[in-house]
Structure 1
Amino acid sequence: MLGTASQVPTRLRAHNGYFLRWDREGILLDPGEGTQRQMLHAGLAAHDLTRICVTHFHGDHSLGLAGIIQRINLDAVPHPVTAHYPASGQPFFDRLRLATAYRETVRLREEPVERDGIVAKALDFTLTARRLAHPVDTFGYRLAEPDGRRMLPDRLKAAGISGPDVSRLQRDGELNGVRLEEVSEHRPGQVFAFIMDTGMCDAVHELAKGADLLVLESTFLAQDAALAAEAGHLTAGQAGEAARRAGARHLVLTHFSQRYTDPALFEAEARAAGFTGELTIAEDLTRVTVPRRR
């Protein structure tokens, strides 16, 4: 959690910024102003970045992009870095990318998001985006591993399968009359969901469904629900309800308005909405571990 404030930073909360370490991927999400310095405090380097995901082009979610791009080039990151962002915000992306003079040394792959659907696909994950409900074009992101099979040692032993034959069975689905389903069980792939500025909408539920780790904005408390609706934001209670409906395992609430000084109130509202899973009220520079596989 590099930054957890909303539009106005505070002495304790910087503008938005989130970094996800996922196997070989290092994904920087919504780099707001000051993200480059927060990365330094968190022990992160430009070389750690493989992707940048921007939900929308409001300043608290994107003004740090200029510095991040220049730092990637200054440090001559040896691998390509891919940027995902709303296609309608291309003029803003271009201005931030070329905000000042610098020497380009790195291939920055621009992959703007035009519509709901898959924005990146690899052997071990799929990254999808869904349009959210906010005054400007905004997308939430969902990273999901493919489902797999968990091998059951006792059943493998009973079937007389061991060593290299296990790999052959996984590859072919059957070996010597033994089917893969008979000696294994379904293993759901892990899911991470990232949902920033939005009012409640179907996309929130679809992105969050079954998430192992759900990072969700909760800008307001219930006492300001009318203001939240007007501005296209969620309350902590709405966030807790969405996480409950989605069956999320670990909910991280973030993007707090500067008008509130007691973080415990956000936890209380999310719990009152019925969410019983693990809950983190985000603070700058804290680390949250993706839950172990189910």
Structure 2
Amino acid sequence: MSVRELVVLGTASQVPTRHRNHNGYLLRWDGQGILFDPGEGTQRQMLRAGVAAHDIDRICVTHFHGDHSLGLAGVIQRINLDQVPHPVTAHYPASGQHFFERLRYATAYRETVRLTEGPVAADGPLAVTDAYTLDACRLSHPVESYGYRLTEPDGRRILPERLAAHGITGPDVGRIQREGVLDGVTLDEVSEVRRGQRFAFVMDTRLCDGVHALAEGADMLVIESTFLDEDVRLATDHGHLTAGQAAAVARDAGVRHLVLTHFSQRYSDPAEFERQARAAGFDGELSIAQDLMRVPVPKRT
């Protein structure tokens, strides 16, 4: 059975709290796992969340601030210690190559797993698989930062009423799906396009074109909302978003499920982020992220 869900490992911003670890997010996408922004403590949070090193196929780092990357050393060493049987690919801003290398080889360990490095130097596709296309898009932050977008290929949805109209039943249904045509009837005549699902991950950034491009039409958008709206000047100065700004992006992009995260330690009431997101006009599914929560990707419409 396929599983598509976000496992939240940490939700703090620069400073962790008693209730919030530094960042860390695992996207389960059918049989694959993408780990985003493993901050300090991610390896322990994985244990608490029931996430194994074997679950990781790809690592995506948005930028090299510590709360988004200091956990890389432990995660990479754990992947090797557990002798993960498949190759793992790591994406990160190319300008931070030296930071990645320092973290990868922070201490001595035995390498047992093929870790492929995939530095990101420009907007565009990073990987194209049968399951998804992974794209990166530049964001606006004091250090080079990229957001990521996963897009599933479009498929076809069989329409029973059209099958019946053409008298197609039983094994012939599978045949027309495999071969695309049956006795002069094409697959297009008995089906419609089923849009592939879309997932977007946006961390530290001001409002910019990249934020909107990543969010457009996303079934799930995971996005930072470090500040509340009354502190918008601080947000802009430090290269961050407010809850209202993030929600407005999701509203305009037609996002189905919005996950707000990366909260400043200055705020004690998570409900205020939800209130401001709703005040900004976002009326879809909304999650105010908490450590160790699981958020299912919305089912196809």
| TM-score under structure 2 length normalisation | 0.95
- How far does residue 148 in structure 1 lie from its aligned partner after superposition? 1.3
The equivalent residue for 2:16 is: 9
Q: Distance in 2 between matches of 1:236 and 1:117?
A: 27
SS in 1 for 2:120: coil
Give the fraction of aligned pairs with identical amino acids, expressed as a percent. Answer: 73
> Paired residue for 1:40, among 30, 44, 47?
47
> Paired residue for 1:133, among 140, 153, 168?
140
Q: Distance in 1 between matches of 2:34 and 2:186?
A: 38
Q: Distance in 2 between matches of 1:144 and 1:226?
A: 33
Which amino acid in the other structure matches residue 255 of structure 1? H
The equivalent residue for 1:193 is: 200
Taking the TM superposition and a 5 Å limit, the aligned residue runs for 1:1-294 are: 1-294=8-301
146-155 vs 58-67, greater mean Cα deviation: 146-155
Q: Distance in 2 between matches of 1:158 and 1:203?
A: 46
175-184 vs 237-246, greater mean Cα deviation: 175-184
Q: Distance in 2 between matches of 1:75 and 1:140?
A: 29
| TM-score under structure 1 length normalisation | 0.98
The equivalent residue for 2:5 is: none
Structure 2 gaps, min length 5: 1-7
163-172 vs 17-26, greater mean Cα deviation: 163-172
More strand by share: 2
- How far does residue 166 in structure 1 lie from its aligned partner after superposition? 2.8
SS in 2 for 1:112: strand
118-127 vs 180-189, greater mean Cα deviation: 180-189
Q: Distance in 2 between matches of 1:127 and 1:166?
A: 32
| Deviations, residues 17-70 of structure 1 (Å, cap 9, x unaligned) | 000100121111000000000000001111111110000000000000000000
Q: Distance in 1 between matches of 2:59 and 2:173?
A: 38
- How far does residue 223 in structure 1 lie from its aligned partner after superposition? 1.1
Q: Distance in 2 between matches of 1:95 and 1:270?
A: 38
> Aligned residues, how many?
294
122-131 vs 148-157, greater mean Cα deviation: 148-157
Superposed CA RMSD: 1.0
186-195 vs 155-164, greater mean Cα deviation: 155-164
Which amino acid in the other structure matches residue 89 of structure 2? T
Q: Distance in 2 between matches of 1:109 and 1:41?
A: 27
Q: Distance in 2 between matches of 1:168 and 1:89?
A: 50
Q: Distance in 2 between matches of 1:135 and 1:201?
A: 13
| Deviations, residues 193-216 of structure 1 (Å, cap 9, x unaligned) | 000000001111111111111101
- How far does residue 185 in structure 1 lie from its aligned partner after superposition? 1.7
- How far does residue 156 in structure 1 lie from its aligned partner after superposition? 0.9
- How far does residue 171 in structure 1 lie from its aligned partner after superposition? 4.1
- How far does residue 173 in structure 1 lie from its aligned partner after superposition? 3.4
178-187 vs 239-248, greater mean Cα deviation: 178-187
Q: Distance in 2 between matches of 1:41 and 1:123?
A: 31
Structure 1 gaps, min length 5: none
